[in-house]
Chains A and B, each alone.
Chain A
Amino acid sequence: MISGDITVARLLDEHPELIEVLARYHPHFARLRNRLLRRVMGPRVTVAQAAGMAGVPADELLAVLRRAVGEPAPAPHHARSPEGRSNEGSDAASPSQGEGRGEGAPPRGLADTPEARQVRLDVREDIRRGDEPFARIMGAIKTLAGDQVLALRVPFEPIPLYDVLGKRGFAHWTERRASDDWTVWFYRDTGPRVEPTAAPAAPARSRSVLDVRGLEPPQPMLRVLQEVDRLGPDAELEVHHERRPMFLYPQLDERGFLHETDEPEPGLVRIRIRRGAA
């Protein structure tokens, strides 16, 4: 009997024909046609979690799956959350660390973090292309300093990631901007923080970090140009790259940005970008 707590991998091992049933049921599940994504995500995501990620009621999804394999549909006994999510899905998705949604104020541990200490990582395009973003996310987590926060932008709520990073001591706070645009902040709830008084005395410049390592050209250039366009007069964007972006520099020059590049460690090229004097 198909239940909400079996993994997608087990489900598809036992009923491979359900790939097409899922893909037809919701566009979100069309990604399961990608063999690699199936291999990576399948063992980590339960059916209930998958329903939550796609924003569909878990009991409805279970009914569709059971009908497709000739099993009796579940009784519709689950209470619905205000978001239309079944309790079964929510329970299965509960992270081990703190959780919040973007409807209220962010938790204190996160609210105290200045913009300059937030490392932004956008994997929406990777997932749309069928690329596996897990390595990039874990790479960004590894390089996160104690007082830094990872702001992850994804096309769906990454419920399995809450557990994975929760085990590493990261709490999260989620904001849903659109059905295919989510931002999740992963932060160390008890980690050391940079207090305002501890900031360097010299020019108070807010700094944000953008990690474009592991992206195929011209995605790094595109992401940087999208970010610099939003850069305030006193803000600085720190880009982490794998190589010197020779094709990006002229674009920055033409748009009047100042930039400086260095290599603090092998494999990391750091470009600091700020607006030039008007």
Chain B
Amino acid sequence: MSRPVRTRPGRGPSPLVPLAYLICAAAAFVVASLGVAWLGPELAGHYYHPQLLALTHTVTLGWVTLAIMGASYQLIPIVLERPIWSERLARWQLAILAVALTGMVAHFYLGSWPGLAAAAILLAVGVVFHLVNVGMTLRSFTQWTFTARLVVLAYGGLALTAVFGLALAANRIWPFLPGEFFPILHAHVQLALLGWVAPMILAVAARVYPMFFLAPAPRRVHSVLQLHGLAAGVPAVVLGLLGVPALLVAGALGVAAALGAHAAWVGEMAWRRRRPGLDWGLRFVLTATAFLAPAAVLGVAMAADRLAGPRVAVAYAVVALGWISLTIVGMMLKIVPFLVWYHAYSPRAGREPVPTLTQIAWPRAEGLAYLLLTGGVVLLAATVLSGEAAWIRAAGAVLALGSLAFAGALVRVLGHLWPSAPGAPTWPPHSPRLRTTREEPGPRSPREEPPRSASRVLAGRA
């Protein structure tokens, strides 16, 4: 059982690469939530609308995919216990994806298909970069745990999602796809949600949630159901949509079983956790898991033709993306402070006092984001079902405010990366810079008072 391992100096994971992805993802999240409020009337109609496609890709690519890719560059070293193959490739990948994503969203919005196809090709290059990087990292990997298998499944799903997306983009210019258009579009959507994002969340959760909740890893029954439910269910759903209808319901039930097992494990873990208090990140994660139930019910009902229509489809997407988004927000509230702490304070750790993660976070903004985002997702799902544009817009406004609170919490944490920046939070709290400002002798004019942010920091740390 003994496997001695030595790491080479300089092969440690860089926190700046995942941070760059996560910052871009958070920016896309803010843009997307503002877009929901902006596109209320469009969301009340049919989902196949150029501006809604732009919004959807801002969420799925800009927010969800960039966040997962960024998190994977931090978590792969932890989950798979090996460093990333090439951080340089990861940096190039982000640049390509950012350009491609901006191009795609803009061309979707304008309804310009040739430009969209070019952006889609560029996006595929970025995805290939990521797959190469992960593939080379996994080279000679032998410990095929539950998590590792789900990660591989997810990357298979990502590759297929990109292929379907490219085919759909090319088909707009040179029609070549056989059969009807919408089943292929639905297969593309389900591949993205269930084939790429869901297995990745389940994989990472299995390793990361126990670490944060101080709780046991999934039991074998949960692991088997999650892995086999997705491995069998997602291809069945896709084939069912593409022309083998008999597989659709069975596939949907398989996926529902996998997600149900995940939810059951999360519930059990929350119950048996050794950590008494929950921070906002973990509250986000637990609340997000509750959204799996309505998502699974709507998904199975649509597969069984019990429910149909564009409004139900959009409500399903909202609830499913609610689970995904709230989970990502929760994980980012854990990951980003850790990465910032690691970059800013780990070289000083053990040699001098350094802050804890709680001390660099902003719980008030996180709590506000929790209320607004969870409430916003529920409101949005309800209002798209009602089809009332004004209410959809109101729900979008709640979401937008929540995303701004979330972004504010992140900005506060990120300020610790540049401690010398004006107004940045500092550590230790009584740093020479602030002390000099406070202890200046003699009378001071109001202009000489410490900057507001510095005063706030001092007051907060007192």
Contacts and interface: CB of A to CB of B under 8 A. Distances in A.
B274 A131 contact: yes
Interface stretch (A34-42, A110-118, A151-159, A195-203): A34-42
A103 B356 CA distance: 33
B9 A250 contact: yes
Nearest to A214: B214
Given A216-B214, A253-B10, A246 B83 contact: yes
B276 A217 contact: no
A179 interface: no
Interface stretch (B104-112, B178-186, B338-346): B338-346
Interface string B39-58: 00000000000000000000
A264 interface: yes
A260 interface: yes
Nearest to A213: B214
Contacts of A262: 2-5
Interface stretch (B128-136, B347-355, B420-428): B347-355
A253 B275 contact: no
A214 B12 contact: no
Interface in B198-217: 211-212, 214
A35 B276 contact: yes
Nearest to A230: B350
A131 B357 CA distance: 15
B77 to A, nearest CB: 4
Interface in A184-230: 214, 216-218, 221-222, 224-229
Contacts of B338: 217-218
A246 B84 CA distance: 11
Contacts of B4: 260-262
A178 interface: no
Nearest to A261: B5
A254 B212 CA distance: 27
Given A243-B81, A246-B12, A264-B2, A132 B276 contact: yes
Interface string B1-37: 1111111111111000000000000000000000000
Interface string A114-146: 000000000001000111100100000000000
Most B-side CB within 10 Å, residue of A130, A247, A254, A266: A247
Contact of B276 (A36, A228, A250, A253): A36
A259 interface: yes
Contact of A253 (B5, B7, B346, B349): B7
A4 B254 CA distance: 60
A83 interface: no
A106 B311 CA distance: 75
A214 B7 contact: no
A259 B11 CA distance: 14
B9 A217 contact: no
Interface string B264-288: 0000000000111100000000000
Interface string B208-235: 0001101000000000000000000000
A123 to B, nearest CB: 12
Contact of A37 (B81, B276, B349): B276
A241 B86 CA distance: 27
The A contact surface, by secondary structure, is: mixed
A251 B13 CA distance: 11
B350 A264 contact: no
B176 to A, nearest CB: 46
Interface string A238-260: 00001110110111011000011
B308 interface: no
A130 B351 contact: no
B351 A135 contact: no
A5 interface: no
B78 interface: yes
A221 B12 contact: no
A99 interface: no
Interface in B307-333: none
Contacts of B214: 131, 214, 216
Contacts of A14: none
Nearest to A256: B9
A250 B274 contact: no
Nearest to B350: A225
Contacts of A250: 7, 9-13
A17 to B, nearest CB: 22
A214 B13 contact: no
B428 to A, nearest CB: 15
A261 B351 CA distance: 24
Contact of A247 (B8, B212, B342): B342
B351 A229 contact: yes
A246 B5 CA distance: 11
Contact of A244 (B5, B347, B356): B5
A71 interface: no
B273 to A, nearest CB: 10
Contact of A263 (B2, B13, B77, B349): B2
Contacts of A249: 7, 11-12
A218 B341 contact: yes
Given A37-B276, A132-B276, A253-B12, A222 B349 contact: yes
Contacts of B6: 259-261
28 contacts: A34-B276, A34-B277, A129-B277, A131-B214, A132-B276, A135-B274, A214-B214, A216-B212, A216-B214, A218-B357, A221-B346, A225-B349, A229-B351, A242-B211, A246-B77, A246-B78, A246-B81, A247-B77, A247-B342, A247-B346, A249-B7, A250-B9, A250-B13, A253-B12, A254-B9, A260-B5, A263-B2, A266-B1
Interface of B: 1-13, 77-78, 81-83, 211-212, 214, 274-277, 338, 341-342, 346-347, 349-351, 354, 356-358
Given A224-B350, A250-B7, 17 more contacts: A131-B277, A132-B274, A132-B276, A214-B214, A216-B214, A218-B338, A218-B342, A225-B349, A226-B349, A226-B350, A229-B350, A247-B13, A247-B78, A254-B347, A259-B6, A263-B1, A263-B3
